[in-house]
Amino acid sequence: MAPVPISSIKVGHIDDVQELRKNRPKTIPERFVRDMNERPAPAMALSLPSSDMPVIDFSKLTKGNTQQVHSEILKLADACENWGFFQVLNHEVDLTLMESMEKSSREFFMLPLEEKQKYHMAPGTVQGYGQAFVFSEDQKLDWCNMFALGIEPQFIRNPNLWPKNPATFSETVEVYSREVRKLCQNLLKYIGLGLGLEGDVFEKMFGMAVQAIRMNYYPPCSRPDLVFGLSPHSDGSALTVLQQAKGSPVGLQILKDKSWVPLQLIPNALVINIGDTIEVLTNGKYKSVEHRAVVHKDKDRLSIVTFYAPSYEVELSPIQEFVDEENPCKYRRYNHGEYSKHYVTNKLQGKKTLDFAKI
Ligand SMILES: COC(=O)C(/C=C/C1=C(C)CCCC1(C)C)=C/O[C@H]1C=C(C)C(=O)O1
Ligand SMILES: O=C(O)CCC(=O)C(=O)O
Ligand SMILES: [Fe+2]
């Protein structure tokens, strides 16, 4: 995917949020302050408990007896249809490796700005250190520093952006990404079976799947009621895997039945969500759910997010099984590379990006 021509983008000065925070500003710079109508409500005003969010025991899928496998697939199918988000336990991603990812990511974000800027995210690109999804000078900014890398296939990698410091960073990302890739492949198999399809339907369709990782670091903010950590959006992937670092405060919120529900995460679990690609393929039976991150007054927060998506050359459209008289086709046929380009060249704005594919 070619970068967007730099000359066409004027984003103004983007403050590094960690540097801003160091000076403990009494007021939040205007560019981060959200308009009244979109500010996050105080947590107290949020009604629904997140305790109902489905939890899938991955070991029941892979090692359970026939009955356990069957009932866990049903639970998974229900989670995909009614939540679009679920947590996975016993996911086979090594817990020590998850800790190393947290440690390396934290060490990276704690480096001096000059060091991190060696891996600067150039305007019009999505890899490296900075803020993605900013395309105009008057666009509001998120209270977040990001570091993103393309993982697979190899040709999407930019080796200059893989940090040499901390020394273990790149190797840890490499091993972690292999394990998360296996998890995605397996989950897609069970999601396929839960939909009444062949277990290998997505694997065959996706070809050499694209995988990317993004670390989001949210410093504390004296006015969390005025800013977003990450603007509301759905993910452009097929599946997204989110690891929230230990000790992080609650920050992820999902839009459920028109209310923003904060997610209380189970220790050692990974959070999975359905992305736009699966929404299209299932003709909307499984929906990509809008979500956002809010920040905390005193505590920082770190999330490590993997996006798993079809190969760029794949042409996507709803699978025939989900299209009939009652459910007319809602999405046109399109090329996933084109969708990726569209996704990363627009600001995060709820589910607006998916309009690209709507009929
Ligand atoms: C800042 O980047 C993102 O948030 C992001 C981008 C991912 C990518 C890279 C970092 C390298 C090149 C590939 C890709 C575009 C996937 C989000 O990824 C979502 C958006 C799409 C589309 C997707 O598949 O995952
Ligand atoms: O940090 C979080 O909890 C949300 C991250 C997220 O939604 C993303 O990176 O796409
Ligand atoms: Fe997301």
Q: What is the pLDDT of residues 15-29, one digit of tens each?
A: 899 999 998 887 999
Residue nearest to atom 6 of ligand 1 (CA): 126
The answer to whether residue 153 scores a pLDDT higher than 90 is yes
Report how far Cα 98 is from the mean position of its chain's Cα atoms. 17
First CA to last CA across the chain, in angstroms?
25
Say how many Å lie between the CA of residue 231 and the centre of ligand 3: 9
Residue nearest to atom 12 of ligand 1 (CA): 150
Supply the mean pLDDT for the chain. 93
Q: Enter the tokens of residue 43.
A: 């947590």
Q: Write the CA distances from 19 to 2, 23, 118, 352, integer angstroms.
A: 31, 7, 16, 31
Given the cut 0.85, state whether the ipTM is greater than it. Answer: yes
Say how many Å lie between the CA of residue 146 and the centre of ligand 1: 12
pLDDT at residue number 40? 86
Ligand in nearest proximity to the CA of 353: 1
Q: Write the CA distances from 204 to 72, 235, 237, 338, integer angstroms.
A: 23, 22, 16, 20
Asked whether 45 and 160 are in contact (CB, 8 A), the reply is no
- How far is 39 from 43, CA to CA, in rounded Å? 12
Lowest mean pLDDT among 14-23, 66-75, 222-231: 14-23
Residue 221: name the closest of 309, 141, 321 by CA.
141
Residues with CB under 6 A from ligand 1: 126-127, 132, 146, 148, 150, 156, 210, 212, 214, 235-237, 307, 309, 339-340, 343-344
The SS3 of residue 357 is helix
Residue 282: name the closest of 80, 53, 86 by CA.
80
pLDDT at residue number 160? 96
- Return the ligand 2 atom nearest residue 263 CA: 3
Say how many Å lie between the CA of residue 252 and the centre of ligand 2: 7
The answer to whether residue 98 scores a pLDDT higher than 60 is yes
Q: How confident is the model at residue 201 (pLDDT cuts 50, 70, 90)?
A: very high
Say how many Å lie between the CA of residue 198 and the centre of ligand 2: 30
Contact partners, residue 105, CB within 8 Å, separation at least 6? 147, 169, 215, 217, 245, 302, 304
The answer to whether residue 5 scores a pLDDT higher than 80 is no
Q: Which residue has the tokens 């084109």?
A: 338
- Report whether residue 230 contacts ligand 2, using a CB cutoff of 6 Å: yes
- How far is 292 from 269, CA to CA, in rounded Å? 19
Mean of the pLDDT values across residues 191-200?
98
- Report whether residue 251 contacts ligand 2, using a CB cutoff of 6 Å: yes
Q: Enter the tokens of residue 283.
A: 């003709």
Global confidence as pTM: 0.95
Q: Enter the tokens of residue 218.
A: 């949210």
Residue 255 half-sphere exposure toward CB, CA atoms < 13 A: 14
Q: Write the CA distances from 244 to 147, 218, 305, integer angstroms.
A: 15, 11, 9
- Cβ atoms within 10 Å of 158's Cβ, excluding its own: 13
- How far is 200 from 205, CA to CA, in rounded Å? 8
Q: Which of 252, 255, 272, 347 to mutate to test the pocket of ligand 2 (most atoms within 8 A of CB)?
A: 252
- Cβ atoms within 10 Å of 4's Cβ, excluding its own: 16
- Report whether residue 309 contacts ligand 2, using a CB cutoff of 6 Å: no
Say how many Å lie between the CA of residue 307 and the centre of ligand 1: 7
Say how many Å lie between the CA of residue 80 and the centre of ligand 1: 22
Asked whether 61 and 90 are in contact (CB, 8 A), the reply is no
- How far is 202 from 209, CA to CA, in rounded Å? 10
- How far is 265 from 255, CA to CA, in rounded Å? 16
Q: How confident is the model at residue 146 (pLDDT cuts 50, 70, 90)?
A: very high
Asked whether 275 and 240 are in contact (CB, 8 A), the reply is yes
- Return the ligand 1 atom nearest residue 237 CA: 24
Q: Is the dihedral angle over the CA atoms 308, 352, 5, 139 positive or is it negative? A: negative
Say how many Å lie between the CA of residue 306 and the centre of ligand 3: 9
Q: How confident is the model at residue 44 (pLDDT cuts 50, 70, 90)?
A: very low
